């Protein structure tokens, strides 16, 4: 999972929010509606800041 690519996609789609959590695919909020991205769930390692 490349967060830069995910952020770029979110911007291109006009998303107002990007939600990332362990064991779940990223979610985008577009026009008030939550949409699941077609990606593998994030791992613990990927979500640590």
Residue 49's pLDDT is 67
Tell me which residue of 28, 2, 34 sits closest to 15, measured CA to CA: 28
For residue 35, the SS3 value is strand
The CATH number for 29's domain is: 3.30.450.90
Cα 25 from Cα 43, distance rounded (Å)? 10
Region of residue 35 (left: phi > 0; alpha: psi -120 to 50; beta: else): beta
Count of domains observed in the chain: 1
pTM, entire model: 0.83
21-25 long-range Cβ contacts below 8 angstroms, 24+ apart: 21/47, 22/47
- 42: containing domain: 3-47
- pLDDT of amino acid 1: 65
| Res 47: pLDDT | 85
Q: What is the pLDDT of residues 1-49, one digit of tens each?
A: 688 999 999 999 999 999 999 999 999 999 999 999 999 998 998 888 6
């Amino acid at each position: 999972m490349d967060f830069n690519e995910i952020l770029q996609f979110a911007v291109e789609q006009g998303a107002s929010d990007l939600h990332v959590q362990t064991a779940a695919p990223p979610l985008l909020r577009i026009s008030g509606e939550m949409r699941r991205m077609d990606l593998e769930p994030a791992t613990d390692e990927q979500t640590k800041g």
